[in-house]
Structure 1
Amino acid sequence: MSDALESLNGLIVPLADRGLLLPNVAVAELSGYRRHEAPPASSPDWFLGWMRWRDQRVAVMDPASLFGLPSSNDTSRDQALVMNAIGGRGGVHFFALRVSGIPRSRKVLRGEISAESEQPVLPGILQQVRLAEVEQPLLIPDLQALEQQLADVGAFG
């Protein structure tokens, strides 16, 4: 079997009390969190508005809030993780996740990851997993579903 099937270059992304596990290729850049344009008043709490990034208007969401997880009161470490859009919407190339700190790069080997079957999967999450040498369970988000959530609230309009 090839190395590509045996390992994945990933990022462990901190949220307030959990972490996300993302493939490196899904992430465009880590940027300082700043919101330039507030969302409409009728928007859900998890939609934070838009930021400017590389001369583009990028929708920003709070995944912890969307998943129903506690959010951190300490916003001093917040970062914007700019994601490559995969939904095929014309003109939409990126969206951003507000995260609680700096992601850690990690090569994930097939034998060191296991599904966490006791825990129910949250909306917007594909799988909750355990990774060797990582204390807390990690969430693998459904990136296409996150994009769709943003589209549903008019973030890309």
Structure 2
Amino acid sequence: MKNEQNQPLPAIKCLIVRLQKASLLLPLNLMAELVDGNQLSPSTHPGVEGWLQWRNRQIPVVSLESLCMLEDETLSNEGKCLILHTLSPMAGLPFIALRVRGGLNTLEILPDTLRDDHSGNVQRCPYVARQVRASHLLCFIPDMPAIEAVLAEILQLSAEQPHAPLNESQG
């Protein structure tokens, strides 16, 4: 495809956040808010670390490292939760929260400057779309649709969608 004006591709505004043992690279427009993660309600669902009360909603909190089985121990309540807009059109899951450490760094990345980096990648995690270098930092780009799908399955959201009441007089 010929670009007569030779316009460069636009930079993508991204966010880099620390995880337990890695960093995460996300488009900035997915972020809703970074909040304190100390007050989680317990979860009975395996895979969901807890529930965060945020803006009159219960948001499921997950850890990418737990999903990828990179961390054996249960994470403490220390740290932050990054609340993200979901990409899936499920009414029951408009937001999810990822367990993170520390603050946020923003970065503008040109799409052609990301380089895949498979160093230290022992096993392929189905919840990581790519492992790249950004600003000399090894980062995971999460596969948000896969994370949202497994969360919906764990929470059985399809079964909990509101249904119209049945009218017993109709036969």
Q: Tell me the TM-score normalized by structure 2.
A: 0.77
* Native 8 Å contact 2:39 2:77 kept in 1: no
Distance 1:155 1:112 in 2: 39
> 1:49: Cα distance to partner?
2.2
Alpha-carbon shift at residue 121 of structure 1 (Å): 3.2
Counterpart position of 2:70: 69
| 1:89 matched to 2:90 | yes
Whole-Å Cα distance in 2 between the matches of residues 49 and 76 of structure 1? 10
1:142 aligns with 2:127: no
Identity of aligned residues (%): 27
Q: Deviations over 1:38-80 (max 9, x none)?
A: 111xx32x41121110111111111111112237888475101
1:124 to 122, 127, 145: 127
Contact residue 132 and residue 140 of structure 2 kept, 8 A: yes
What is the alpha-carbon distance in structure 2 between the residues aligned to residue 73 and residue 49 of structure 1? 11
Aligned partner letter, 1:69 = L
Alpha-carbon displacement from aligned partner over 1:12-63 (angstroms, at most 9, x marks no partner): 11001101100001111101113442111xx32x411211101111111111
Moved >4 Å (runs of 4+):
71-77
Q: How far apart, in 2, do the equivalents of 1:49 and 1:30 lie?
A: 16
2:150 partner letter: Q
Instruction: Please tell me whether residue 7 in structure 1 is matched to residue 33 in structure 2.
Output: no
Change beyond 3 A, Cα 1:124–1:106: same
Largest Rg, 1 or 2: 2
CA pair 24-65 structure 1, distance change in 2 beyond 3 A: same
CA 116–32 in structure 1, closer or farther in 2 if over 3 Å, else same = same
Q: What SS does the corresponding residue of 1:153 show, helix, strand or coil?
A: helix
Runs of 5+ unmatched residues, structure 2: 1-5, 161-171
CA–CA distance in structure 2, aligned partners of residues 146 and 81 of structure 1: 14
Aligned CA RMSD, in angstroms, stands at 2.4
Structure 2: how far apart are the matches of 1:71 and 1:23? 28
Aligned residue identity for 1:32: D
| Structure 1, unpaired ranges of 5+ | none
Which of the two has greater strand per residue?
A: 1
> TM-score, with normalisation over the residues of structure 1?
0.83
Aligned to 1:53: 54
